[in-house]
Amino acid sequence: MVVALTWVGIASVGAAAQRPNILFIMSDDHAAHAISAYGSQINQTPNLDRLARDGVRFDRVFCVNSICTPSRATILTGKYSHKNGTPVFNKFDGSQPTVAKYLQAAGYYTGMIGKWHLGSDPTGFDYWTILPGQGAYINPAFLEPTGRRVINGYVTDIITDLSIEFLKNRPKDKPFFLMCHHKAPHRNWVPDEKHKAMFADKQIPEPATLRDNYDTRTDAIRECRQKVLGDLNPNDTKMPPPAGLEGDALLKWKYQRYMQDYLACIQSVDDNVGRLLNYLDESGLSKNTVVIYTSDQGFFLGDHGLYDKRFMYEPSIKMPFLVRWPGVTKPGSTQSAMAINVDFAPTFMDLAGLPVPAEMQGRSLVPLLKGDRLTDWRTSWYYRYYHDPGDHNTRAHYGVRTETHKLMYFWKKGQWEMYDLVHDPDELHNLYNDPAQAETVAKLKAELYGLKKQLQDNDEFADKQPPQGVDGPFNKPGKTRQPETREKK
């Protein structure tokens, strides 16, 4: 009897040791085209590049509803917004199944540190400390099961400090699943002094489409208020524009102010990813830890004259996705299969050796991490954005993206856009009304409505959105501790 129990004990420990740790690092609004491994023309990110060099760079990972809260809900559940009930900035129902709960139940030690932005308390985590709402860049408050505490310092450094502490203090007999979620580089882009100085006098190259005149496009892009020229305010630029600046001179000035701060925030993220990777090396954890770096969506870096995200255009929907899994991912490789953030939860399940629950709507990316060639991988995927008018007067739309084309429908306006992504990768020529494209449009519409049906999107949130519920007030019961200053590790 004793012998049998001992054997079972060893077997289970052995099995547990083989399951990889998962370190999921996600920043907020970090566009792939601001990472040098993705060919950035505007900055250098040596630590993120290190992940790409040691692992695989996914070139086509997309967000299916390109704003913060819905993306986070999708990542946790493996479901589209209409299935997880979080289409806009409404409170996430934490009683539903999530990948954190599944991994915790399977013996993973689970942690969530940093920006949560789902309104309700995290569920399925052994340890959590989250920013209330958007959180603060400087001396941020954190919400924890025991109350609220303020930590002095810069938010990206602190989230990394807390993540390293989590790794040090974790139970060593379990694999871990850590979601390390940075606030940066979210608007209004407040860098720390060190990184601010790095970009203070830099002239950042402008994107080719900064002065897009929106010819051939529908009303949506004209009506939106996410324009660098018209909508960035003094809170964003941190200073009023020099007197007398107008027109193109003002656009140039605003673009520079925007990008200098945005890129400085990213530089701190990059440094701190380096700190985490170094800790994994020093502690011997690197070998059996899958490290993923991504962002909750992409971002317009002056592309089409815009900032922010929301639209189904490429800079907004494209997520960076770098994965290092020693012994599995081929160093320096790339992956061009189309993945979506709905796939993340199934991927975590698969990494943990668990079956993917039937209700999850994505697919595990593990075969792609292994470099397998899959003949049955998806060739199209479905997008839907609801937050209209929202914070930026951005029109609701749904659409389909294939390997070569994109069709978008602004359902409240009854207007369509269609792009040939092969010949027009910048999406400057809306071909929807081109008679020569009628057949292509008809095929794309069939694909779009086929996917919509298959995903059981019955327009649940088309006309009515749930109330806002993720941004304050956050007067959590329990004591507020005195601000603490942490020593730099």
- Nearest distance from C-beta of residue 34 to Ca ion, angstroms: 14
By CB under 5 A, which span of 77-85, 96-104, 289-297, 392-400 interacts with Ca ion?
289-297
Kindly identify the residues of this chain, within the stretch 13-52, that bind Ca ion according to CB under 5 A. 28-29
Of the pair 206, 296, the CB lying nearest Ca ion is at 296
Sign of the dihedral through C-alpha 369, 373, 376, 380: positive
Tokens linked to 50? 């290190």
Of the pair 29, 343, the CB lying nearest Ca ion is at 29
Of the pair 259, 470, the CB lying nearest Ca ion is at 470
Classify 385 as helix, strand or coil: strand
Q: How far apart are CA 236 and CA 218, in angstroms?
A: 28
- Nearest distance from C-beta of residue 143 to Ca ion, angstroms: 19
Of the pair 314, 447, the CB lying nearest Ca ion is at 314
- Strands 109-115 and 333-335, bridge-based pairing: unpaired
The answer to whether the CB of 195 falls within 8 A of the CB of 267 is yes
Cα-to-chain-centroid distance, residue 121: 20
Q: Which DSSP string corresponds to 226-244?
A: -BHHHH--HHHHSSPPPTT
- Closest by CA to 183, choosing from 120, 274, 117, is 117
Of the pair 286, 394, the CB lying nearest Ca ion is at 394
Tokens linked to 417? 């856009």
The answer to whether the CB of 368 falls within 8 A of the CB of 337 is yes
- Nearest distance from C-beta of residue 296 to Ca ion, angstroms: 4
| 308 binds Ca ion, rule: CB under 5 A | no
148-177 footprint of Ca ion as x/- string (CB under 5 A): ------------------------------
378-407 footprint of Ca ion as x/- string (CB under 5 A): ------------------------------
Of the pair 34, 352, the CB lying nearest Ca ion is at 34
- Nearest distance from C-beta of residue 329 to Ca ion, angstroms: 26
Q: How far apart are CA 127 and CA 122, in angstroms?
A: 9
Of the pair 29, 457, the CB lying nearest Ca ion is at 29
Q: CB nearest Ca ion: which residue? A: 68
Q: Which DSSP string corresponds to 331-372?
A: TTEEE-S-EEGGGHHHHHHHHTT-PPPTT--S---HHHHTT-
Strand order from edge to edge, sheet including 415-420: 380-385, 397-402, 405-410, 415-420
If binding means CB under 5 A, how many residues of this protein chain bind Ca ion? Answer: 4
- Nearest distance from C-beta of residue 29 to Ca ion, angstroms: 4
- The residue written with tokens 């720390």 in the block is 192
Of the pair 75, 158, the CB lying nearest Ca ion is at 75
Instruction: Please enumerate in sequence order all residues whose Cβ is within 8 A of that of 310, keeping only pairs 6 or more positions apart, or say none.
Output: 66, 67, 224, 226, 316, 385, 387, 390, 392, 394
Q: How far apart are CA 122 and CA 342, in angstroms?
A: 19
- Nearest distance from C-beta of residue 161 to Ca ion, angstroms: 22
Q: How far apart are CA 452 and CA 231, in angstroms?
A: 33
* 374 burial level (CB within 10 Å; 0-12, 13-18, 19+): exposed
Of 157, 161, 261, 296, the one binding Ca ion by CB under 5 A: 296
Kindly identify the residues of this chain, within the stretch 53-92, that bind Ca ion according to CB under 5 A. 68
- Nearest distance from C-beta of residue 51 to Ca ion, angstroms: 20
DSSP secondary structure code for residue 138 in this structure? B
Classify 335 as helix, strand or coil: strand
- Nearest distance from C-beta of residue 442 to Ca ion, angstroms: 35
- Nearest distance from C-beta of residue 70 to Ca ion, angstroms: 10
- Nearest distance from C-beta of residue 68 to Ca ion, angstroms: 4
Of the pair 308, 417, the CB lying nearest Ca ion is at 308
Q: How far apart are CA 197 and CA 191, in angstroms?
A: 9
Of the pair 28, 212, the CB lying nearest Ca ion is at 28
Q: How far apart are CA 231 and CA 285, in angstroms?
A: 45
Of the pair 49, 296, the CB lying nearest Ca ion is at 296
- Nearest distance from C-beta of residue 309 to Ca ion, angstroms: 7
**Which residue ranges make up the site for Ca ion (CB under 5 A)?**
28-29, 68, 296
